[in-house]
Structure 1
């Protein structure tokens, strides 16, 4: 086991970089008319990636950082379905819906909180507007194993869904009780068996380390149990404790959270355990079997990262539909309203529910490329960068190169005139390694509540 003491100095608030610039930089300075112009001017030869936010959950999981609406009322869900349909009507007036769809993702909330019949209706509505799904399109759904039945899985399979991701977080009962999510192994096993029965190409599981009462020993047990499910991919996330943003996290007793040293040990053990059982680390916090397309992509330096996670489906315009959904164009990000009343009010007025976003300037796009390459592939081909942007890297990023020297001294990365590449240990701190290239970090340096801690 590594000596983690020298790495604890890197424990500081930092972005997860699902985007660059991050959502903290989104504002209403990017207005509705400009957003519509961006949508309507998208290159019709570029494919589309669709994200649908289905926000409802029955109860709160205290660790959750998602934008969720808690309800068990059928009328609220039916009302939301109606507004989704109306949003699609408006969207179809501004987007060429005949473009090829190469990716679609249902996120939440709990998408399978909707019944099989409701899911079938939502999917049919989407395909009536976007009929041209590519034959190899990645169609995925996040699933809470506590809310899935055979009818729902059958509907998704018949509709072309080929990837599902099951939230496990932790199998230890004491941890589950502390985070208000009791989920016995048998329930998760049933969900996994359904996914296999209905021929999902990739069945993935999500774990979280850093939760209350977790230790290296308890997490070893969770990993061993998870492995018996034989998932195609693991996502092992560092818990982001941001109680100033998420009220439900205030229910967690912070004195029960594992310390950074323990969390590093958990992550290092996870890497060792999963790699010894045939998985390879792919991007930040992700692991896949060698035959997985993600592994093939990273070996070629072609892995991409967006709000839907890691993907091989680059070069697409991401269109977000539903409450709080985020979209991404060539040089812009846009986000829908987070408050249901404001979301509905916009659609009632015949407008898309756009609230805020950002248009990327040239510097943003340059830094976006560097940060996303590091976050996705753990390395940056400097010569490729210079050819793409016609910029001398060492001049443009002199400050960042200087800031990375301590990482090189700690053997977390190697750096020369051709490449920056993380060591295996350096991948644990990839957020820290990306941060020197972030032009907005200085603005947030004095705030301890801008981001979650990297360790």
Structure 2
């Protein structure tokens, strides 16, 4: 493969890092959660926050909110999300009733008017809800929490369920960011994954979003889908370049049919090979660089002027279960079936099925099915991994002062493992800390994995998607 001058990392290095690995929206990762963590443990974590833990300079740190809407009208064969396929829209009313009960439990624990600076509706398909149902949900949230001015309020949008006119309604409800599921514009690829949507419909939504003053438009793309070729994906990249969304999320398709039933409808023989996937990734990285996008990290790109790119340059980037964010690191309250939240040094995940979720709330309990209370070692490693993932830099002194350790002694084995990566030019190991290089940003998951105690202790990593 002829190197592209716009490609800041060699295809050979990308190929060497084509291994499974976590996305590190948390550390430890969600697969480490245990069922011993339940409603009582979450209530204890909430009591700690209510008692003052989580305040900054006497001010209570603003919360993040995530609301999971699990319903979809039709299944996308590549999907690995927790979703419920149904055309019975009347099911949404019962779900909203349950969400309101769950919101009430948090109000009882924390009090009303807790400040919120970040809200994200994900799924499933949040726009499965009607305009009236979305209005009801937003009213429930606003009656319980205080959405502060200048916050990030986003919703995932399926272009097949939203018209330019409906987009106006979403803005009136307070959403100032949207994420569009594009995946691929090639008609044959769309048929193969059971998600057919026209380029013109996506273009119309982005045009209307700009007219409405939506602050940021994100487009999701996936490479490695069935019937994709390097040539067909190049055409998708060209079309995305014409639309010029503020942010682009580029994911590699992970074919795990044993874990995700919809993927069993994908013909494995139609999947592109490793070399083709690598060519697609390389072409995308080069294309985005030429178009003026900065690489944020973990498959995310943003225009140089976008708030996310600015935050990265200024060292203000953060990461949580919602991905990269410009909002300060904060507690995350997660609402809805299977949703994952964080309170201080505790993680919790709601029940994954509607019957279990509904049953817990009918009993007046938080619908927590599992979670984790982090150990001191978990906290140290989380700080290192998040510094790598967000700033690309780990200051030894900062970690040492915060956790009272000798960094080089505590992480002697990890530093030794990083030496080959340093020789490849992916990072620098200096007296003051670790510094990820521009090339290293593209494989930062692989660098962070060195500090993952749980991964280092086991051989199998098949539970994760591949880095490339």
Q: What TM-score does the superposition give when structure 1 sets the normalisation length?
A: 0.95
2:214 is equivalent to residue 200 of structure 1: yes
2:51 is equivalent to residue 36 of structure 1: no
In the alignment, which residue of structure 2 is the partner of 1:68? 83
Q: Is residue 283–residue 377 contact of structure 1 (8 Å, CA) maintained in 2?
A: no
Aligned counterpart for 1:101 among listed residues 116, 122, 136:
116
Post-superposition shift, 1:13?
1.9
In the alignment, which residue of structure 1 is the partner of 2:466? 453
In the alignment, which residue of structure 1 is the partner of 2:281? 267
Residues in 1 aligned to 2:255 and 2:320: alpha-carbon distance in whole angstroms = 22
- C-alpha change, 1:378 and 1:257, in structure 2 (3 Å) is farther
In the alignment, which residue of structure 2 is the partner of 1:403? 417
Q: Is residue 47–residue 109 contact of structure 2 (8 Å, CA) maintained in 1?
A: yes
Q: Which segments of 5 or more consecutive residues in structure 1 lack a partner in the other structure?
A: none
Q: Secondary structure at the match of 2:109?
A: coil
Residues in 2 aligned to 1:355 and 1:40: alpha-carbon distance in whole angstroms = 19
Q: Is residue 342–residue 348 contact of structure 2 (8 Å, CA) maintained in 1?
A: yes
- C-alpha change, 1:256 and 1:383, in structure 2 (3 Å) is farther
Aligned counterpart for 1:416 among listed residues 425, 430, 442:
430
Q: Deviations over 1:361-416 (max 9, x none)?
A: 11101101111121223332333333333322211111111111221222222222
Q: Secondary structure at the match of 1:371?
A: helix
2:94 is equivalent to residue 89 of structure 1: no
Q: Which moved more, 1:244-253 or 1:410-419?
A: 410-419
Q: Secondary structure at the match of 2:348?
A: strand
In the alignment, which residue of structure 1 is the partner of 2:272? 258
Q: Deviations over 1:272-331 (max 9, x none)?
A: 211111111112111111221211211122211111111011232100001111111110
Residues in 1 aligned to 2:118 and 2:11: alpha-carbon distance in whole angstroms = 39
- C-alpha change, 1:238 and 1:334, in structure 2 (3 Å) is same
In the alignment, which residue of structure 2 is the partner of 1:237? 251
Post-superposition shift, 1:448?
4.8
Post-superposition shift, 1:99?
2.1
Q: Which segments of 5 or more consecutive residues in structure 2 lack a partner in the other structure?
A: 4-9
In the alignment, which residue of structure 2 is the partner of 1:219? 233
The 5 A counterparts of 1:427-442 are: 427-442=441-456
Q: Secondary structure at the match of 2:237?
A: helix
Q: What TM-score does the superposition give when structure 2 sets the normalisation length?
A: 0.93
The 5 A counterparts of 1:5-16 are: 5=12, 7-16=14-23
- C-alpha change, 1:89 and 1:116, in structure 2 (3 Å) is same
The CA RMSD measured in Å over matched residues stands at: 1.7
2:33 is equivalent to residue 26 of structure 1: yes
Q: Which moved more, 1:435-444 or 1:6-15?
A: 6-15
Q: Secondary structure at the match of 1:100?
A: strand
The 5 A counterparts of 1:345-356 are: 345-356=359-370
Q: Is residue 283–residue 378 contact of structure 1 (8 Å, CA) maintained in 2?
A: no
In the alignment, which residue of structure 1 is the partner of 2:325? 311
Residues in 2 aligned to 1:200 and 1:6: alpha-carbon distance in whole angstroms = 38
Aligned counterpart for 1:115 among listed residues 107, 112, 130:
130
2:393 is equivalent to residue 379 of structure 1: yes
Q: Secondary structure at the match of 2:155?
A: strand
Q: Is residue 116–residue 151 contact of structure 1 (8 Å, CA) maintained in 2?
A: no
Q: Secondary structure at the match of 2:195?
A: coil
2:62 is equivalent to residue 55 of structure 1: no
Residues in 2 aligned to 1:300 and 1:350: alpha-carbon distance in whole angstroms = 44
In the alignment, which residue of structure 1 is the partner of 2:24? 17
Q: Deviations over 1:45-83 (max 9, x none)?
A: 121111000111011111111111111102211111111
Q: Secondary structure at the match of 1:74?
A: coil
Q: Secondary structure at the match of 1:92?
A: helix
Q: Secondary structure at the match of 1:440?
A: helix
Q: Secondary structure at the match of 1:41?
A: helix
Post-superposition shift, 1:140?
0.4
2:189 is equivalent to residue 175 of structure 1: yes
Post-superposition shift, 1:421?
2.5
